[in-house]
Amino acid sequence: MSKPQWLPLIEQQLKENPKALSYAFSTLSEENKPKVRFVIHRGITSSALLLTTTDTRMSKPVHLAHSPTTEIAWWIENTNVQFRITGSAVTIPSSSADDEDKFKEAIKKLGVEGSEEGTKEYWVEKKKELWKSVSGHLRAGFGRPKPGTPLDQVPSSDTWPETIPAESDKPEEQKTIKFAYDNFAIIAIAPEAVEYLELKPIPNRRTQYKRQSNGEWEETKVAP
Ligand SMILES: Cc1cc2nc3c(=O)[nH]c(=O)nc-3n(C[C@H](O)[C@H](O)[C@H](O)COP(=O)(O)O)c2cc1C
């Protein structure tokens, strides 16, 4: 399978705009209602899966278990381009203790069997890498009360961790890290269609890419 034509476009945009890392990520609720929120882009794998991270206790994993359907809207302000990416998203099992079958199911949904991303080990390592790459303040969020719980039902915020190290030798800290690490999960997105909208050129340009059943991508330029 050749490299999708849209991939170098995203890579180039990120090179020019290294801070443009947030995109709107939509899911379908269990009631089939659209839900959208911003997330941070955390990388693209060699099989062109987009990665972001979340807390397993949030709504996204529940929605994705119900339906992997997703659409992303990513506007890069400086260069005035938008990527609209449609596809399937999967929450990667967050614990390496989770059985092999859960990883196999996630890998199958993403269509990456037989590739680098097609093993449990790949995802266990990727999670470690991403955990280390985020700030201690962001890690602390995963050690706090369940997101969305009314504040009068959780311990006072004075007691919440402010920062959590990636790893520690101290047993007490190790407990906090383990709790937070178990709540931390990767979401992998397998694009099926990508639309690239360029608003700087006049007339504007709009290019659509669609994945074919043989894995190749078809490009169509359309009127903006
Ligand atoms: C700029 C920005 C970046 C964010 N990045 C993430 C992220 O990477 N992962 C995440 O789970 N939530 C992120 N959030 C918070 C989400 O938008 C959302 O409030 C939260 O994940 C709960 O959503 P959910 O209950 O629908 O899962 C971000 C919010 C903003 C404004």
Q: 8 with 44: CB under 8 angstroms? A: no
Where exactly are the structural domains of the chain?
A: 6-222
Q: Is 82 in the pocket of ligand 1 (CB under 6 A)?
A: no
**CA 70 – ligand 1 centroid, Å:** 15
Q: Average pLDDT of 126-147? A: 97
Which residue has the least CA distance to atom 11 on ligand 1? 54
Instruction: Tell me what pLDDT residue 10 has.
Output: 98
> According to the model, what pLDDT value does residue 185 have?
97
What residues have CB less than 8 Å from 71, skipping those under 6 apart? 26, 84, 85, 86, 87
pTM above 0.95, yes or no: yes
Residue 160 CB less than 6 A away from ligand 1: no
Distance CA 86, CA 72 (A): 6
| The pLDDT of residue 98 | 66
Q: What is the pLDDT of residue 1?
A: 58
Which residues does 23 contact at the CB level (< 8 Å), separation at least 6?
A: 38, 39, 41, 72, 73, 74, 75, 83
Q: Is the CB of 108 under 6 A from ligand 1?
A: no
Asked if residue 220 has pLDDT above 90, the reply is yes
The residue whose CB lies within 8 Å of the most ligand 1 atoms, and thus the one to mutate among 28, 38, 66, 144, is: 38
The pLDDT-based confidence of 24 (bands split at 50, 70, 90) is very high
Is the predicted pLDDT of residue 131 greater than 90, yes or no? Answer: yes
Judge if the beta carbon of residue 35 lies within 6 A of ligand 1: yes
Fold annotation for 6-222: Pnp Oxidase; Chain A (2.30.110)
What is the CA(38)–ligand 1 centre distance, in A? 5
Q: Ligand 1 centre and the CA of 76: distance in Å?
A: 18
Residue 20 CB less than 6 A away from ligand 1: no
Helices 120-133 and 100-110, axial angle in degrees (round to 10): 90
Q: Is the pLDDT of residue 5 over 70?
A: yes
